[in-house]
């Protein structure tokens, strides 16, 4: 994310650095709140994908993030507090703007939102 004070040469260098592994880099000009929405929605979606793949249970995912990363709550609880429908709306908005599949809402998240089930609900 560039600011009005960002020098064009530094922005170009940063874009090259972040794209070294072949990942597409998008330069955005938005507020800090918008960036944080995208990050939180992605964290919640990733936690849902981990639960869907049964890598860990929802309660273990939340506990691991709380204890291992010192977050005040786990990503599934956070997603529940924000609302799964809002998380999906942010992800769908990002998908529409950037067309990047990393913003596609996962099945676990989508099913729970449509069935009005808590994100911590196991299969």
Domains recognised in the chain with CATH numbers: 29-115 (1.10.1040.50)
Stated pTM of the model: 0.75
Lowest mean pLDDT among 10-14, 48-52, 97-101: 97-101
Which one has a higher pLDDT value, 2 or 102? 102
Half-sphere exposure at residue 79, Cβ-oriented, CA atoms within 13 angstroms: 36
Return left, alpha or beta for 13; rule: phi > 0 is left, psi -120 to 50 is alpha, else beta. alpha
Of the candidates 84, 94, 81, 85, the residue with the CA atom closest to the CA atom of residue 38: 94
Pair 109, 87: CB distance under 8 Å: yes
Predicted confidence (pLDDT) at residue 32 exceeds the cutoff of 60: no
pLDDT tens, residue by residue, 59-70: 999 999 999 999
What's the rounded Cα separation, in Å, for the pair 119 and 123?
A: 11
């Amino acid at each position: 994310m560039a600011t009005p004070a960002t020098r064009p040469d530094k922005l170009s260098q940063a874009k090259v650095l972040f794209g070294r592994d072949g990942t597409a880099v998008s330069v955005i000009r938005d507020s800090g709140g918008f960036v944080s929405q995208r990050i939180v929605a992605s964290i919640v979606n990733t936690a849902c994908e981990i639960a869907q793949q049964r890598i860990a249970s929802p309660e273990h995912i939340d506990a691991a993030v709380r204890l291992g990363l010192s977050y005040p709550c786990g990503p599934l609880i956070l997603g529940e507090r924000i609302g799964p429908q809002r998380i999906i709306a942010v992800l769908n908005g990002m998908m529409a703007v950037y067309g990047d599949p990393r913003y596609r809402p996962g099945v676990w998240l989508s099913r729970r939102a449509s069935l009005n089930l808590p994100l911590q609900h196991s299969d």
